[in-house]
Amino acid sequence: MAGFLRALCYSQVLVFLLSITCSAAKEFLVGGKTNAWKIPSSQSDSLNKWAESSRFLVGDSLVWTYDKEKDSVLKVRREAYISCNTSDAIEEYNGGNTKVTLDKSGPHYFISGADGHCEKGQKVIVVVLSQRHRLVGVSPAPSPSEVEGPAVAPTSDASSFKAGYLVALGVLVGFMWM
């Protein structure tokens, strides 16, 4: 009986440690580099390519750096994203160093507020997963009807999950040998 209780206690410690290591919100520099918020030079340079290779969770933040005298960031609805309508923004950011916290799951649409930039490809769709995916480590692909544009296939940021798992497993094994 004592062995069972000990194993149960260790498993609870393991779950707790895993939840701590896997729950930290992240900041993403849009495009993965400073001043990436610009008209792409080619389709392969699209910010959606960058977004497809990233995994965004509720609580994470996006950070844009750009020349505030020449550009801005608009959070828009799907229809405005498709048509590049800059007159009906949900939010407008124009400080040159913009940070937006992703507060709900689903697709988030951003376009440039500079004349003609959106039409030339300066826009991005970010698909945000719910908090429960932070612990599970598995993410469903979004429905094609949810997102207009290139398919967005979320990827697993397994490195932090594996590191947390190994630390927790090491602690658990260490307790068992005590």
CA 163 → CA 7, 99, 124, 139, distances in Å?
Answer: 22, 28, 30, 19
pLDDT of res. 140: 46
Residue 45, pLDDT score: 76
pLDDT value for 125: 97
The predicted pLDDT at position 130 comes to 85
Query: Is position 5 within any domain?
Result: no
Q: Is 106 part of any domain?
A: yes
Task: Give the chain's domain count.
Answer: 1
Tell me the C-alpha distance between 81 and 89, whole Å: 10
Q: Name the helix (H) or strand (E) containing 73.
A: strand 73-76
Q: Identity (one letter) of the amino acid at 161?
A: F
Q: Is residue 99 part of a domain?
A: yes
Domain that holds residue 78: 26-153
- pLDDT at residue 42, as a whole number: 84
pLDDT of residue 165: 47
Taking the complete model, does pTM exceed 0.85, yes or no?
Answer: no
Q: Report mean pLDDT in 10-residue bins for the chain, 178 residues.
A: 57 47 81 93 86 95 96 98 96 96 97 97 95 51 44 44 48 47
pLDDT of 32 reads 93
Q: For residue 68, is it within any domain? A: yes
Q: Give the pLDDT confidence score for residue 24 in this predicted structure.
A: 84
Is 178 within a domain? no
Q: What's the pLDDT score for residue 1? A: 63
Specify if 12 maps to a domain: no
* Domain membership flag for residue 54: yes
CATH of the domain at 93: 2.60.40.420
CA distances from 27 to 1, 31, 59, 63, 100 (A): 46, 12, 9, 7, 9
In whole angstroms, what is the distance from residue 79 CA to residue 88 CA? 10
In a domain, 108, yes or no: yes
